[in-house]
């Protein structure tokens, strides 16, 4: 397990190991950092010898309206949500090749791709939603 901001991952790794009788470790990694990604993947390879799956499931957001979003806030989103996912997948693919065996890379997207996620930061959406709900009865 790789985590950045959820120290509960350490306990979840221990619980998973105990429940399934397998070795599981939690590694703290800034997936927005190319160097940190390589450090952690190399640690995992050193500890386990190899691995055969990557689930890229990280993402950040900024709760600021796009009209006032600062460049550094946008760059933080891009660094994790796009570059980080790509660098993790790239490193895993390179490792799979060096292991001499196939591996699996699973990339997930935000739950906002599945549900309607109405932001409270844009209250202009709310009157339309209330009117739609009222007239659909």
Architecture of domain 31-135: 3-Layer(aba) Sandwich (3.40)
SS3 2: strand
Q: Please report the pLDDT score of residue 20 as a whole number.
A: 96
Closest CA to 56 of 104, 6, 5: 104
Question: Tokens 């940190």 sit at which residue?
Answer: 36
Domain residue extents for the chain: 31-135
Residuewise pLDDT in 10s, the chain (137 residues)? 777 778 788 999 999 999 999 999 999 999 899 999 999 999 999 999 999 999 988 788 777 888 889 999 999 989 988 999 999 999 999 999 999 999 999 998 665 555 555 655 555 555 555 555 555 55
Contacts of 100-105 spanning 24+ positions with Cβ under 8 A: 101/50, 101/52, 102/52, 103/51, 103/52, 103/53, 103/54, 104/52, 104/53, 104/54, 105/53, 105/54, 105/56
For position 137, what pLDDT does the model report? 55
Using CB atoms within 10 A of its CB, is residue 67 exposed (0-12), middle (13-18) or buried (19+)?
exposed
Phi, psi of 109 (to 5 degrees): -115, 175
E-strand ranges in the chain read 2-3, 27-28, 53-56, 104-107
């Amino acid at each position: 397990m790789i985590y950045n901001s959820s120290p509960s991952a350490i306990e979840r790794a221990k619980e998973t190991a105990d429940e399934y009788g397998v070795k599981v470790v939690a590694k703290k990694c800034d997936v927005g950092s190319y160097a940190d990604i390589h450090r952690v993947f190399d640690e995992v390879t050193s500890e386990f010898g190899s691995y055969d799956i990557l689930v890229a499931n990280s993402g950040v957001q900024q709760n600021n309206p796009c009209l006032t979003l600062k460049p550094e806030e946008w760059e933080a989103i891009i660094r994790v949500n796009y570059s980080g996912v790509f660098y993790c997948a790239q490193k895993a693919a390179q490792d799979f090749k060096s292991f001499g065996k196939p591996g699996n890379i699973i990339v997930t997207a935000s739950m906002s791709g599945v549900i309607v996620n109405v932001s409270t930061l844009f209250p202009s959406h709310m009157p339309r939603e209330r009117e739609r709900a009222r007239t659909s009865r």
